[in-house]
Chain A
């Protein structure tokens, strides 16, 4: 159905157009002045200069696995992130923690955890779905590689990016 949008009714000042032209020129002259005084920053010299410090807290960069204060890889290979991942970038092979291990109670760990960074769309669903607070989107954004295989982040790489996470719930430590 066609909708007729009414044109705005302009008063005589607006129909004259001159005040708008003057206002626009004022902005142009302001920038001209700033440039002459060296106050205008036009380009950041990436990659010599990095914008890491100005990244917001909610920035969604590369997903990574974290360890907790005890040094345990928090992931228990529940594969919910693999299930939720819209581009199917995650692949997990689970293993069983031997009974002699310090964390034998957790029973399960990811033997292999691969994220294909060519596929990853940085949506953050994996972080949202994780019931173990094990996967977080970090601020790493420059993910490069020469081959497709290079672009797959294996468990070691993911743990390297992730590092240690403080202040997460330690639900396996004490039965509640």
Chain B
């Protein structure tokens, strides 16, 4: 990450000399050298207040002779003058000749002492604490602390179970006053609502009077909380973390494509947490995206295949439904078919859709654009995760979404006899249910049922983002990978398999037996994907598309303040919307 011509400094860590670029924090240098220094308040994406004192180390500098040159000892190495007291390693950068000891007797004694002080008022809550299992205090207590408590006095009692905001619950007794959450709110979310009040042992974390931690990034404070003080109200008491199977994936709620870890147990998703990727989302993600997974278990989830027979929808099996869909599509001419795909589909699915359109000779094909207010942190205005994928793969000549209104008009006027809706709700097109009922052929592939699916001639239950493997291109042109975290429920099937079968049934698409085959075809035909495979994309993605960068703006101070206020208001509004939506439905889609 450093510039190529950054000066390098020689630093001795635990007796071994290393080289680090100028500007490296001592704590980071130690970690890179393989000597992990425990820390609570330090977070590499936030400022260093140095208030937890856990990262104490011994530091020294070369002894200088009368000529101001380092005196050399045996072996030609400089003799180190050690500072006679411990130093914190999180608030200092490396410098030339610096020497560090991370496991000397003094350092170990300091760590034991700091741990003992931190645990003095910490409750023995571990059996009911959601952080247990991923708690820094537990881990460092084992690694660096004492096995027994010498504290005989009564612990300070502090408020528990405080609702800090719509999505965050605070337990003040567990707080070790590291101030990570406060700094996150100030530095990243720019919504300064948290702070410490009172003094000494009685210091507590609280929200400023009249304010709530309700911006759209509040749940990141739960992630960075090293203990169980800040807990997610949504995840609270739902599942112990050691049961969760962690699948690396990406968020599909907007075009940013934040890297995530999906925590699941026995095919149930319990939480999504951000995964570090400095090219995309740093260490953060927004609450809206994080909680947007409940629709996968919604009551109106499509679990059964259905075919219309004598005016009624009846259950079917996969071969029959695919055959029926193909038969219906062949009964109309190519000009009478329209395909509405979705910007939420993966590249592989969009490519198969384009092949289906090609095979049928369909021109009327587009995706539904989804534009809503974004913010300047992570949330993109484009709420489709794969608009760029549609741009590259779908094979449409116009911009995604440009033909949509023409398609809607054609359906209304009766020019279109067959409509194929893939992962979208027809309501977005402004087509009424009555008009849909008039359609001779209306094939729906979706996750959730709605009024439109009732009017379909064939209903194909498909998979949600956590149930499939595939790739998407985010708003900045980065190709990233989705991974399967849970198995699809009921008879729902992988979208790409459904499209492949449909493609074969209408007379195209051969020898596509795995999703890797589909990706190989894409990489052979589309130059941006050349030389890539799904496994080569890796966990952090590959940049494949140069997007036009907006010119940087330099607003005047007044304008900047005005903008900041507006952004803050908007972000709060989005946070509120998420809260309302969750309260109403537990679902935040469509």
**Could you list which residues of chain A lie within 8 angstroms of chain B, going by C-beta atoms?**
76-80, 82-83, 94-96, 99, 105-108, 131-132, 171, 175-176
Q: A78 CA to B160 CA in the complex, in Å?
A: 18
Across the interface, do A78 and B240 meet the contact criterion of CB distance under 8 Å? yes
Report chain A residues within 8 Å CB of B126.
78, 131
B154 contact from A77, A96, A171, A176, Cβ within 8 A: A176
Q: A82 CA to B242 CA in the complex, in Å?
A: 11
- Chain A: minimal CB distance from B517 (Å): 37
User: What string of 1s and 0s marks CB contacts (under 8 Å) between B111-138 and chain A?
Assistant: 0000000000001101110001000000
Across the interface, do B154 and A107 meet the contact criterion of CB distance under 8 Å? no
Report chain B residues within 8 Å CB of A78.
126-128, 132, 240
Q: A99 CA to B162 CA in the complex, in Å?
A: 11
Given contacts A99-B161, A107-B161, contact A79 B240 (CB under 8 A): yes
**Could you list which residues of chain B lie within 8 angstroms of chain A, going by C-beta atoms?**
123-124, 126-128, 132, 154-155, 157, 160-161, 236-238, 240, 242-243
- Chain B: minimal CB distance from A89 (Å): 15
Q: A19 CA to B124 CA in the complex, in Å?
A: 69
Across the interface, do B243 and A107 meet the contact criterion of CB distance under 8 Å? no
A-B contact count (CB 8 A): 41
A106 contact from B128, B157, B238, Cβ within 8 A: B128
- Chain A: minimal CB distance from B154 (Å): 6
Across the interface, do B242 and A83 meet the contact criterion of CB distance under 8 Å? yes
Across the interface, do A96 and B127 meet the contact criterion of CB distance under 8 Å? no
Across the interface, do B161 and A175 meet the contact criterion of CB distance under 8 Å? no
Across the interface, do A79 and B243 meet the contact criterion of CB distance under 8 Å? yes
Closest chain A residue, CB of each to CB of B123: A175
- Chain A: minimal CB distance from B13 (Å): 38
Across the interface, do A83 and B236 meet the contact criterion of CB distance under 8 Å? no
Given contacts A78-B127, A80-B127, contact A96 B243 (CB under 8 A): no
13 contacts between A and B (CB under 8 A): A77-B128, A77-B237, A79-B240, A79-B243, A82-B243, A94-B237, A94-B238, A96-B236, A96-B237, A131-B126, A131-B127, A175-B157, A176-B155
Report chain B residues within 8 Å CB of A106.
128
Known: A83-B242, A94-B238. 4 other contacts (CB 8 A): A76-B127, A77-B237, A105-B160, A108-B128
Q: A15 CA to B547 CA in the complex, in Å?
A: 100
Q: A153 CA to B525 CA in the complex, in Å?
A: 60
Report chain B residues within 8 Å CB of A99.
161
Across the interface, do B128 and A107 meet the contact criterion of CB distance under 8 Å? yes
Given contacts A94-B237, A96-B237, contact A132 B157 (CB under 8 A): no
Closest chain A residue, CB of each to CB of B121: A175
Report chain A residues within 8 Å CB of B160.
105, 107
- Chain B: minimal CB distance from A165 (Å): 17
- Chain A: minimal CB distance from B138 (Å): 12
Across the interface, do B127 and A175 meet the contact criterion of CB distance under 8 Å? no
Q: A108 CA to B161 CA in the complex, in Å?
A: 12
Closest chain B residue, CB of each to CB of A130: B127
